Amino acid sequence: MRKMFWQAGWAWFVLFACVPWGYGQDIKAMITEAAKLSDTAENQDELTRLLDICEEASQLDLAQPQVEYFTKLEAWARNKRGEIYAETSLMTDDPEKIQKLEAAALKDFSLAIKKNPKHWQAIHNRALSYAMLGQTEQALADLDTAIKLNPKFETAIYNKAELLYEASQFAVALQQYQTVLKLNPKDVGAMTGQAHCFYRLENYEAAMMAYNQAVKLAPENPSVLANRADAYSDLGYFKEAILDYKKALTLEKDLPRAQQGLAWILATCPDDTYRNPELALRFAKAAVTQSDGLDFRYFDTLAAAEAATGQFDVAKQRVGEAIKKAPTSEKPFLQHRLALYEKRQAYREPKR
């Protein structure tokens, strides 16, 4: 987050303003310490000390320049401390800790906004905390406010697009991704988001053009290649998908999603030319090992590879694990594959 460049100049202004108002050395020392901390504070304790100084100042009958200085300084410090809470939450897998940290971040961001209602960085940050806490409507409202205050704030527009996409509002999300691309045509994330939206809206030609453009922008990014490979695979362009997955794995040999995507084709492709059950089993096992084990598709793929190699009893157990983890919309497809394995038949993708 950017430094607030007004801090140093305002500090000298309010320091000299103490003289005509007859404030003593204690007030001057408070302002001097606050100014120094505003330049150096990096951790929670230092920011908390800075906020303590702002609280002490709020109890005094200060001149208007000092009031404005400490008001802006408190808003900055609360936003900065909120960012630390939010960043710390990203480094833990404990749901309870995440809730506590995001709640603390949300409180600081809200107080920062209270002190400075036009603090678009804090408003954006609060939106992210709302999103982490599952409060999508509040998050979108804050993002709209942040964008209104700073119409060229690409990050806020992009995050709004991401939330809309997650809410399956693909047409509206597409508009937001395209707004980002107008501001920055080389934004790979927005180009990829645009491709995803086109795909979900069944505009496959536009989707592939956007995926191709994303690869041109980031040819050495394995995730970008895997995105295009996923689309190729879904559309039945198996040769192209395999090439993209393999290139992604040369760039990042343990990329689970590329391992899983490649394994799926090798196990289930309707074209015998590309099917290789033994290699599929190897990649599927690697994908499960490298992943967090939460995505049902990894178990579904491993089950398909096991069935393709004749291990139907194991495949039945594995697809059972996938069924437990899968969303309701996916369970019928998994149940269909389970029925095949019970009949000792491997699953094949339908020909396109």
**Mind listing the pLDDT tens digit for each residue in 268-292?**
999 999 999 999 999 999 999 988 7
Rounded CA separation 79/63 (Å): 25
> End-to-end alpha-carbon separation of the chain, Å?
49
- Alpha carbons 212 and 204: distance in angstroms, whole number: 12
Question: Residue 35 — left, alpha, or beta (φ > 0 → left; ψ -120 to 50 → alpha)?
Answer: alpha
**Contacts by 129-138, CB closer than 8 A, 24 or more apart:** 129/82, 129/86, 129/102, 129/105, 130/106, 131/159, 131/163, 132/86, 132/89, 132/98, 132/102, 133/99, 133/102, 133/103, 133/106, 136/163, 136/166, 136/167
Choose among 210, 180, 205: nearest CA to 194: 210
Compute the average pLDDT of residues 22-41: 77
pLDDT in tens, 212-230: 999 999 999 999 999 999 9
Q: Looking at this protein, which amino acid is placed at residue 166?
A: E
What is the spatial distance between Cα 319 and Cα 301, in angstroms, rounded to a whole number? 9
pLDDT higher than threshold 70 for residue 170:
yes
119: nearest Cα among 151, 144, 85, 146? 146
Q: How confident is the model at residue 113 (pLDDT cuts 50, 70, 90)?
A: very high
Task: Look up tokens 């906020």; give the residue.
Answer: 51
pLDDT of residue 13 exceeding 70, the answer is no
Q: Where are the domains of the chain?
A: 223-351
Q: Whole-number mean pLDDT of the chain? A: 91
Q: CATH for 223-351?
A: 1.25.40.10
State the pLDDT confidence band at 32, using cuts at 50, 70 and 90: confident
Q: Is the Cβ–Cβ distance between 322 and 300 less than 8 Å?
A: yes
Neighbours of 350 (CB within 10 A): 7
Q: Which residue has the tokens 């053009």?
A: 209
The answer to whether the CB of 78 falls within 8 A of the CB of 129 is no
Per residue in 174-203, pLDDT tens? 999 999 999 999 999 999 999 999 999 999
Question: Looking at residue 6, what is its pLDDT?
Answer: 41
Structure tokens belonging to residue 21? 């108002």
User: Whole-prediction pTM value?
Assistant: 0.84
pLDDT of residue 66: 84
What pLDDT score was predicted for residue 25?
A: 53
Q: How does pLDDT run across 294-349, given as a tens digit for each residue?
A: 799 999 999 999 999 999 999 999 999 999 999 999 999 999 999 999 999 999 99
Distance, in Å, from the CA atom of 158 to the CA atom of 181, rounded to the nearest integer, reads: 10
* Residue in this structure with the two tokens 């409202």, named with its chain if needed: 141
> Tell me, what DSSP letter sits at residue 175?
H
- From the list 170, 175, 233, 229, the residue with the least C-alpha distance to 200 is 170
**Using CA atoms, how far apart are residues 65 and 29, in angstroms rounded to an integer?**
16
Residues 6+ apart with CB under 8 A from 213: 191, 195
> Phi/psi at 32 (nearest 5 deg)?
-65, -45
User: Any idea which of 34-48, 152-166, 314-328 has the lowest mean pLDDT?
Assistant: 34-48
pLDDT, tens digit, 9 for 90 and up, residues 63-100: 888 889 899 999 999 999 999 999 999 999 899 999 99
Q: Which of 185, 85, 76, 74 is nearest to 133 (CA)?
A: 85
